[in-house]
A and B are shown apart, each in its own frame.
Chain A
C-alpha cells in the first residue's frame, strides 16, 4: 500500500528520486517546541509563566537507498547495483540545499493529503550505512526554522465578528487589508492594530504597503507581533480583513 505522506525539498518529492524510499514519516509530525523561560520567585510556589513562541526544531526523515534506476529496474551486476545505489544517494545530495529552502510536507487525509510549508534548512544525513552490499539507509536531518507548518495558500479571510481559525498553533502569518483609518482588535487574544489610512500590512514581515508610518499603534501580543490569531474561535472587532495562513504543529 502506498501512502502520500512525504517531504518535498522545494518542489521535489523525496520519493521521486530513483531508489529512495521514505521509511518513517513521524518526523513530519513533530510537536512544536517553545522557547523562553518562566521565572522562579523566592517563596512563591511553582514558577511565574511568561508568554512563549514556538521555536525552530530539528526533525529527521529516515530513507532507504535502493539500487533501482529511474525506471524501477535493477542493474544486473552487483557492481552496477552498487553504483546505482551511490548514484541515487548523489541524487538525494543534489536535492539538499546548501542554504535555506522551503520544505513542504504531505500528510494523509481520509481520501487525499494536505500540504503544509515551512522555511527549512538541511543539516546532515548523507553518510549512508549499508544494509547489504547494494542497499543503504540514512536519516536526513532538517531544521524547521518557522517552528511550525503553514498552509500553502491563504487559509481564509476573516473580518469583524466571530470566526473559527484553523490550525493548531497561534498564527502571525497573515496579511491585513485596511480600507482606511481603522482599528482592528482581536478580543480573544487582546491584541489590536490601529492604522491612520488604507494600507496592506504583512504581519509576519512587518511591512506596510502605504508605509509603516500609517501604523498608529499596536500591542497586546506577548511577543510584540503586529497582530495574532488563535486556533479556534476568535472575536474580531473594528474594520480590516485578515487573510491568514493557519499554523500547524
Chain B
C-alpha cells in the first residue's frame, strides 16, 4: 500500500518544483468535483509555499488531489510550529475559486448597459446550434391584419410574415410546444427599439439570453400583440420563442408567431411611435423546431465548455484558475468519446455565481465531472468508470477489514405532483407496489405547467425511493486506483454476507500516515 506524498508545483500547475518530505497528516477525498485535501508542514520548511502555487498529493502512482495555495477555499492555520492547509470546500482542487459567471458574449470584464440577471443556455442562446431546425417554407404568409388586429400597420418597410409549423411536421397535441428562432437581426446602431410580438397561443419570448415576455394564451384565439421597448447593442441578436398550444382540436393544432422590430420615431405629439422595420418574421429569418424533431436544448458539457473558454479569454487581462484547465470533451462528446444525451436548458445568475458553484450545479447527478490533478485536464463523462463486478468484489475473508450494509425499505410507490395549473399528476411504480405495498408521497413541482414534465419529475422521485436502498460501509485492502477507481461498479457482499450487490464508487478517502494509508471508498448502490 503506497504512501501519500506531497509535491510542490509552480503557479502554472504543471511544473513540479520539489517533494515536500516534511509534510505530514496527508489526506484527501477524491470525489470528483466535491473533493477535499489536507496536509501540514513545518513552518521552517514552508517558505516557498507561496500563494498561487499548488501542492499535489500523490497516491498509488498518481496525483490524486491538490491544493491551490492562497485560494479562497483553503483554510490555513498554524500552531507556531506547523502550518496546516485544508481545502475543505467543494471543488477539486480549489482551482476555480476566481472564476465568476459573466454575461453572455462579454468575455472581457465589464457589463453591458442592460443585462439579464441570469445567464441562459438553451435554444435562446445566440450560439445555439440550430442547424437541425427547419425553415417554415411555405407555411408563411403576409401578416393578416384581420387575423392580427393589434399588430402595427402602415410601417415604412416590408410587413412581417406569420410563421407556423406545418401540419406535415406532425399534428400537435394539446400542451405540445413548437420552438421558433428569429435570425438576421443585425443592429447597425445601438439604441432603443420596439419589439412587436404576437403568438398563438401561450408563449415564452426570449431576446438573446433574456426572458422578455411570457404570454398566457387562451386556446384558439391569438394573443394580442405586445410591444416592448428594448435597448439593443450593435451586432447580431436572436429572438427565440417557445409556443405551446393550450387548447383546440387535436390534429389541427399549429403554433404560430409573428414579430417585427422597429425603430422609434417622434410621433409629433411628444411621444414615440414605431418607425422603420429593422427585422421581421419571414421564411428566410425564422427557423422552427417541433417536438417530432426532438426538444431543442444544449448539453451541460456545452455550458461548461462555454464557461471555461470565456475564462481563458478573460485570463489575458484577469488571470484566473479556470484558464489553466484543458477540456477533454466537446459540447456533444464526452471525454471518452461517448455522445451526451442530456439536452436541456440551464441558467445561472451572473456576476454572483462562482465557477465551482456553476460546475456543481451543471453537473448535478447527470454527468460526471472531474479534473485530472496531474495534467489539469477537465473531464466530463456521461458515466465515469466501468462495471467491474466480475473482477472486483469487496468482502470479508477476501480483501476487506470491515464491511457492513444497511438496507431500508421502499419509501414511496405512488407519487403525486400538482402543476401550476392545479392538475394533480399521479405516477405509480406498479412493480414496487406489488413487492412492497402502496406507499404514497407528494411533491411540489412549482411553476411547472406541463403534465409530462410533472410525470417525469414523479418518475425521478420514484426511481430514488421505490426500491429498498442499500448503504455500504467498506474498508478494503488495496486496489484503490489500480483494480478499481472512481465511478467503477464493484461487487459488495450484501446484507448478512448473502448475495453480491452492485456498488458504485462515488468517492475515495485516503488518509496517509508515514508509509501507510487508509483507504475508504464511498459506495452507493448502483441501480443503473
Interface of B is mostly: loop
Are B396 and A213 touching (Cβ within 8 A)? no
Are A44 and B397 touching (Cβ within 8 A)? yes
Are B401 and A40 touching (Cβ within 8 A)? yes
Are A223 and B399 touching (Cβ within 8 A)? no
Within 8 A of A (CB), among B387-411: 396-402
Which chain A residues lie closer than 8 Å to B15 at the CB level?
Answer: 211-213
Which chain A residues lie closer than 8 Å to B21 at the CB level?
Answer: 206
Are B17 and A41 touching (Cβ within 8 A)? no
Name 30 A/B residue pairs within 8 A (Cβ), A-sorted: A35-B514, A36-B514, A36-B515, A39-B477, A40-B401, A41-B398, A41-B399, A42-B396, A42-B397, A43-B396, A48-B478, A50-B1, A50-B477, A50-B478, A50-B516, A51-B1, A206-B18, A206-B21, A211-B16, A212-B15, A212-B16, A212-B17, A212-B18, A212-B19, A219-B62, A222-B1, A222-B2, A223-B515, A224-B2, A224-B3
Query: What's the interface size class on B, roughly?
Result: 20 to 34
Are A213 and B16 touching (Cβ within 8 A)? yes
Are A218 and B61 touching (Cβ within 8 A)? yes
Are A220 and B61 touching (Cβ within 8 A)? yes
Separation in Å of the A99 CB from the closest CB of chain B?
A: 14
Which chain A residues lie closer than 8 Å to B477 at the CB level?
Answer: 39, 41, 48, 50
B443-484 Cβ-contact flags toward A at 8 Å (1 or 0): 000000000000000000000000000000000011000000
Separation in Å of the B69 CB from the closest CB of chain A?
A: 17
B397 (CB) vs chain A CBs: closest residue: A43
Interface residues of A (CB under 8 A from B): 35-37, 39-44, 48, 50-53, 206-207, 211-213, 215, 218-224
Interface centre among B1, B17, B59, B400 (most CB of A within 10 A): B1
Give the 10 A-B CB pairs with smallest separation, nearest first: A219-B61, A43-B397, A206-B19, A212-B16, A213-B15, A42-B396, A50-B1, A43-B396, A44-B397, A213-B16
The answer to whether the Cβ of B5 comes within 8 Å of any Cβ in the partner chain is: yes
Are A42 and B401 touching (Cβ within 8 A)? yes
Are B18 and A41 touching (Cβ within 8 A)? no
Interface centre among A35, A43, A207 (most CB of B within 10 A): A43
A48 (CB) vs chain B CBs: closest residue: B477
Are A35 and B397 touching (Cβ within 8 A)? no
Docked CA distance A23–B402 (Å): 52
Which chain A residues lie closer than 8 Å to B400 at the CB level?
Answer: 41-42
Which chain A residues lie closer than 8 Å to B62 at the CB level?
Answer: 219
Q: Identify which of B2, B397, B516 contacts A37 (C-beta below 8 A).
A: B516
Interface residues of B (CB under 8 A from A): 1-3, 5, 7, 10, 14-19, 21, 58-59, 61-62, 396-402, 477-478, 514-516
Docked CA distance A207–B477 (Å): 31
Are A215 and B16 touching (Cβ within 8 A)? yes
Docked CA distance A41–B400 (Å): 6
Q: Identify which of A42, A50, A224 contacts B5 (C-beta below 8 A).
A: A224
Separation in Å of the A191 CB from the closest CB of chain B?
A: 10
A42 (CB) vs chain B CBs: closest residue: B396
Separation in Å of the A223 CB from the closest CB of chain B?
A: 5
B497 (CB) vs chain A CBs: closest residue: A43
Are B401 and A39 touching (Cβ within 8 A)? yes
A43 (CB) vs chain B CBs: closest residue: B397
Which chain B residues lie closer than 8 Å to A213 at the CB level?
Answer: 10, 14-17
Docked CA distance A48–B398 (Å): 9
Which chain B residues lie closer than 8 Å to A41 at the CB level?
Answer: 396-401, 477
Docked CA distance A234–B107 (Å): 57
Which chain B residues lie closer than 8 Å to A40 at the CB level?
Answer: 401
Which chain A residues lie closer than 8 Å to B58 at the CB level?
Answer: 224
Docked CA distance A39–B515 (Å): 14
Docked CA distance A206–B3 (Å): 15
Which chain A residues lie closer than 8 Å to B397 at the CB level?
Answer: 41-44
Docked CA distance A41–B17 (Å): 40
Which chain B residues lie closer than 8 Å to A224 at the CB level?
Answer: 2-3, 5, 58-59, 61
Which chain B residues lie closer than 8 Å to A212 at the CB level?
Answer: 7, 15-19
B400 (CB) vs chain A CBs: closest residue: A41
Separation in Å of the A47 CB from the closest CB of chain B?
A: 10
Separation in Å of the B396 CB from the closest CB of chain A?
A: 4
Separation in Å of the A53 CB from the closest CB of chain B?
A: 6
Are B514 and A207 touching (Cβ within 8 A)? no
Docked CA distance A215–B347 (Å): 42
Which chain A residues lie closer than 8 Å to B59 at the CB level?
Answer: 224
- In the complex, given contacts A42-B401, A221-B2, A223-B3, what are 13 additional A-B residue pairs having Cβ atoms less than 8 angstroms apart? A37-B516, A41-B398, A41-B401, A44-B398, A50-B477, A50-B478, A206-B18, A207-B18, A212-B16, A212-B18, A219-B62, A224-B58, A224-B59
